[in-house]
Amino acid sequence: MSARLGFGLWYSLRNPARWARPITEIYAQTLRQIAWAETIGYDDVWLTEHHFCDDGHAPSILPLAAAVAARTARIRIGTSVLLLPLHHPVRVAEDAATIDILSHGRFELGVGVGYRPQEFSGLGLSVRDRGGRMDEGLDIIRALWRGETVDYRGRHFTIEGAKLAPLPVQSPPPLWIGGFAPVSARRAARIGDGYLGTGEMGKLLKIYREERARLGHAGPGRAIGGHFWLIVSKDPKRTLAALGPHVLYQIEVYNRWLAEAGQALFPPVSSPADLVDRGILQILRPAQAVDVIGAYAEATGIERYYTWTVPPGYPEEQMDEHLQRFAEDVIPQFR
């Protein structure tokens, strides 16, 4: 069996028109589910950010992280990912420190550069500046978390006399760099505490580890990852019929967004069966899931595994049975 793995949940809190419910219900049910999940063995929860989405994809994940902190006692709380170039780094440092205090040292900041041009233009920013804003922002956050008084003159940020108070409980909170491009893997090696990814990570992890070696860092570094969708079910056929349309909606939206940005991540899909055939959606019995996750962990060297938790528009409480089966039949095999 592979070395011990941590296991996480991953949420976007979307509300597609086809399955629309009151957004207050979705937020309340998500917080309920997270609080319950930590009692059955899950180790962390990850929140993801996008803006100006028709389906209400969560745009403000630091307030959500604070709400999770108030509802939980043990589970670690992370962002996968906060789109750092869209934020002022001083405020991110302050908000992250506040969440770390509320959670008694359980917060982890995962950041990415973003890719949707609409998100940058809607906030009065240029998508061309995202790399520079990312690098400068990370430098500023690191310095503030160290307790330094920051005087900074960069291309994108000018800061005079900023000093963080109160400081976070952790010294400092873990800082993960995510993304699907080689530059993200190199940035993680250069600046981050580890690389945060999902799906097929082999090439990017190779780049990450080679860059660490080039920079003279000891060891292979740290990595968190997982499959896009891996669901444990006692009746995979029935589960596919119920969940397939919701996952298909999600992947079709991602394909549209990525195409608008001149990128590609998933192959074209037209049916739930396509999702299964292409390995995007895996609905497995417990023993199969153990084998698949074990092989993935061995191939990637990750220390923690996570996957999407609730398909867009699917009732959170109807996912509870799958989360419980995973917690009872899969997680113990990696302890």
Reported as a single tens digit per residue, the pLDDT across 119-175 is 999 999 999 999 999 999 999 999 999 999 999 999 999 999 999 999 999 999 999
Q: Parallel, antiparallel, or unpaired: how do β-strands 158-162 and 150-153 relate?
A: antiparallel
Across residues 219-246, what is the average pLDDT? Answer: 97
Residue type at position 14: R
Of 266 and 18, the structure prediction assigns the larger pLDDT to 18
Q: What is the pLDDT of residues 60-106, one digit of tens each?
A: 999 999 999 999 999 999 999 999 999 999 999 999 999 999 999 99
Contact 107, 77 (CB under 8 A): yes
In whole angstroms, give the CA distance from residue 184 to residue 15.
30
pLDDT at 3: 67
Residue type at position 62: L
Measured on CA atoms in the order 161, 166, 168, 172, is the torsion positive or negative?
A: positive
Q: What is the pLDDT of residues 312-328, one digit of tens each?
A: 999 999 999 999 999 99
In whole angstroms, give the CA distance from residue 264 to residue 252.
12
For the chain, percent of residues with pLDDT exceeding 70: 99
Q: In degrees, to the nearest 5, what angle opens at C-alpha 74 toward C-alphas 312 and 114?
A: 40
Q: What is the pLDDT of residues 24-45, one digit of tens each?
A: 999 999 999 999 999 999 999 9
Considering only CA atoms, give the Rg of the chain.
19
In whole angstroms, give the CA distance from residue 128 to residue 125.
9
| pLDDT band for position 1 (cuts 50, 70, 90) | very low
Return the closest-CA partner of residue 143 out of 134, 152, 132: 152
Question: Angle 130-145/89-102 helices, nearest 10 degrees?
Answer: 50
Measured on CA atoms in the order 299, 270, 11, 31, is the torsion positive or negative?
A: negative
Which residue is associated with the tokens 């499959």?
227
Contacts of 114 (CB under 8 A, 6+ apart): 83, 85, 86, 120, 127, 130
Residue 330, sorted as left (phi over 0), alpha (psi -120 to 50) or beta, turns out to be alpha
Residue 113, sorted as left (phi over 0), alpha (psi -120 to 50) or beta, turns out to be alpha
In whole angstroms, how far apart are CA 93 and each of 90, 113, 131, 146, 265?
5, 17, 18, 11, 31
pLDDT at 109: 98
pLDDT at 278: 95
In whole angstroms, give the CA distance from residue 97 to residue 101.
6
pLDDT at 2: 52
Mean pLDDT of the chain: 97
